[in-house]
Amino acid sequence: MNVRIVWAGRNYDLAASLPDELTLPESASVDDALKMLSGCLPHNRRLPGTCLIAVSGTHLGCLQSHRNQPLKDGDELLVLWPVAGG
């Protein structure tokens, strides 16, 4: 199945080096997708645990503490690096 990826918030410029779609096994979960996405990051870069995670418009928590759930074909996985500029 294919899952769209939206990388947003702080350091969104990193998305230029990330895929905007992942191809995953049919039984894949959010954590499987996040693991694959982490492997695509440039060397020495990692996602902070405070990133918000959402699937197809539903917030699941933050990277370090979120609900894991099965994905389905056509889902959109959003990873939002929190922003605080004023």
Partner 1 sequence: MTHARKPSMSTAALSPEELTRYARQIGPGVLSVAGQTRLKNSAALVSRVGGMGGPAALALVMAGVGRLIIAHGGRLIAPDLNRQLLGSERTIGQPRAAHFADSLRSMNRLVTVESIDHEPTDREALELTRRVDVVLSCAPTFEERLRLNSAALAAGVPLIDAAQWGLTGTLVAVDPGRTACLRCLYPQPPEFEEMFPVIGAIAMATGAMAALEAIKILSGTGTPLFGRLWMIDGHRGLSRQLDLQRAADCPCCGPSARPAATDSRRP
* Binding footprint of partner 1 on the chain (CB under 8 A): 6, 8-13, 48-50, 52, 54, 57-62, 64-65, 67, 78, 80-86
Q: Three-class SS of residue 52? A: strand
Shortest distance, CB of residue 25 to partner 1, whole angstroms? 26
Considering beta carbons, is residue 9 or 36 the nearer one to partner 1?
9
Residue type, 68: N
CB-based contacts of 7, cutoff 8 Å, min separation 6: 14, 15, 18, 79, 81
- The minimum distance between CB 43 and partner 1, in angstroms, equals 20
Considering the complex, state which of residue 6 and residue 40 has its C-beta at the smaller distance from partner 1.
Answer: 6
Using CB atoms within 10 Å of the CB of residue 57, give its burial: 0 to 12 exposed, 13 to 18 middle, 19+ buried.
exposed
* Least Å from the CB of residue 15 to partner 1: 8
